[in-house]
Amino acid sequence: MPDTINMKRVFSGIQPSGDLHLGNYVGALKGWVNQQNNRDNFFCIVDLHALTVKQNPDELRDRTLQTAALYIACGIDPIKSCVFIQSHVSVHAEVCWLLNCITPLGWLERMTQYKDKSLRTDSILAGLLDYPVLMAADIIIYDAHEVPVGEDQKQHVELARDIAQRFNRIYGETFVVPEPVISKTGARVMGLNDATIKMSKEHSKIRGHAVRLLDDPKEIERSFKRAVTDSYNEIRFSDDTERAGVNNLLGIYKVITGKTESQVEKDFENLKGYGSLKTIVAEVVIEELRPIQEKYARIMNDSGELHRILLDGGEKAAEISESKLSEVKYKMGLLNL
């Protein structure tokens, strides 16, 4: 185990609510992997959050394990990072309740993700509204300094800051106030079929919307071939919404290759037509995902090893968070005999 005493602590998570896609990879996982050597990392599979929308129980269990395998296949090293399943550490749900009792309802009703999601359903569950409080609990019970997430989660991390600050004001200094860390590149990968909406698990069953991390090369090629573009026939970055499709393709190429915008535009300088752009972007994505898919297959072949990693991770996470829980309960006036 690395010496983590002087390192900043990182906490992040992904819901096992659907197939992981390129947005999850570049917006979250890739950044986690790049940082993991000089941080004290906690990477969680947030299955309790997945319950805020209807799930098939057997599928949820399968996807929870698959998500964990993908973390490791993408390069999360269980020696350097604590990998665990949220529902294995009951402190998360318990602290969520305690934080509910200091969180004004208005703060939750203002969350844009809640407003969007509740507009699209006619039976709004209490869990959907409360989702950011559970997320705040996830983060602050570990005293995490940094939370690397995609742009869409920034507002939730800011709420976690507000809740930590409010608790500290009422009960005295208790929690570290966390910072969102949004990668400049890849903060928002858009749908290939519609570049005005973000690539999401929710839409990943729609043909041509997402590149799923486990899609085979042929499927990835097909998705890119079908990607929306425009009629400008000009391969350069742009903020113009009409050109969002091409911009998204260039953004994906940029984040995978690690090149700058001008290097990317140079690469495509003499290229004629969007067809070749799509082929080249598909190729870099296929090559990036190939070793991940191979490693994933090896991990799933030996699930005993994966179970051991998750059990060890859960144990370590429980130990750390339980001592924080005792402090919080005491400060809030709960009797300890």
**Per rule CB under 6 A, is residue 199 in the interface with ligand AMP?**
yes
210 binds, among ligand TRP, ligand AMP, none (CB under 5 to 8 A by kind): none
- What is the rounded CA–CA span in Å between residue 167 and residue 117? 28
Phi-psi map region of 59: left, alpha, beta (phi>0 left; psi -120 to 50 alpha): alpha
| Region near ligand AMP per CB under 6 A, out of 35-43, 81-89, 182-190, 280-288 | 182-190
Are 316 and 91 contacting, i.e. CB atoms less than 8 angstroms apart? no
138 binds, among ligand TRP, ligand AMP, none (CB under 5 to 8 A by kind): ligand TRP
Q: Examine the residue annotation and report whether 201 is marked as an active-site residue of this protein.
A: yes
Smaller CB separation from ligand AMP, 154 or 166: 154
Are 91 and 325 contacting, i.e. CB atoms less than 8 angstroms apart? yes
Work out how close the CB of 156 gets to ligand TRP at its nearest, in angstroms, rounded to a whole number.
Answer: 6
135 binds, among ligand AMP, ligand TRP, none (CB under 5 to 8 A by kind): ligand TRP
Smaller CB separation from ligand TRP, 46 or 250: 46
Strand, helix or coil at 320? Answer: helix
Q: Which residues pair with 39 in a beta bridge?
A: 8
- Among 26, 76, 83, 147, which residue interacts with ligand TRP (rule: CB under 6 A)? 147
Smaller CB separation from ligand TRP, 202 or 267: 202
Work out how close the CB of 241 gets to ligand AMP at its nearest, in angstroms, rounded to a whole number.
Answer: 17
Longest C-alpha distance within the chain, in Å? 75
Smaller CB separation from ligand TRP, 46 or 220: 46
Looking up tokens 């983590």, which residue turns up? 4
Chain residues 155-194 in contact with ligand TRP, contact rule CB under 6 A = 156
- What is the rounded CA–CA span in Å between residue 334 and residue 20? 40
189 binds, among ligand TRP, ligand AMP, none (CB under 5 to 8 A by kind): ligand AMP
Chain residues 202-231 in contact with ligand TRP, contact rule CB under 6 A = none
State residue 212 phi and psi, 5-degree precision.
-85, 145
- What is the rounded CA–CA span in Å between residue 26 and residue 14? 13
Smaller CB separation from ligand TRP, 138 or 288: 138
**Per rule CB under 6 A, is residue 200 in the interface with ligand TRP?**
no
- What is the rounded CA–CA span in Å between residue 163 and residue 140? 9
**Per rule CB under 6 A, is residue 201 in the interface with ligand AMP?**
yes
Cα angle 14-19-21, degrees, rounded to a multiple of 5 = 75
Strand, helix or coil at 19? Answer: coil
- Counted residue by residue, the chain has a size of 337
Q: Which two tokens stand for residue 137?
A: 């609990």
Give the active site residues: 117, 198, 201
Residues that bind ligand TRP (CB under 6 A): 11-13, 15, 46, 49, 135, 138-139, 147, 149, 153, 156
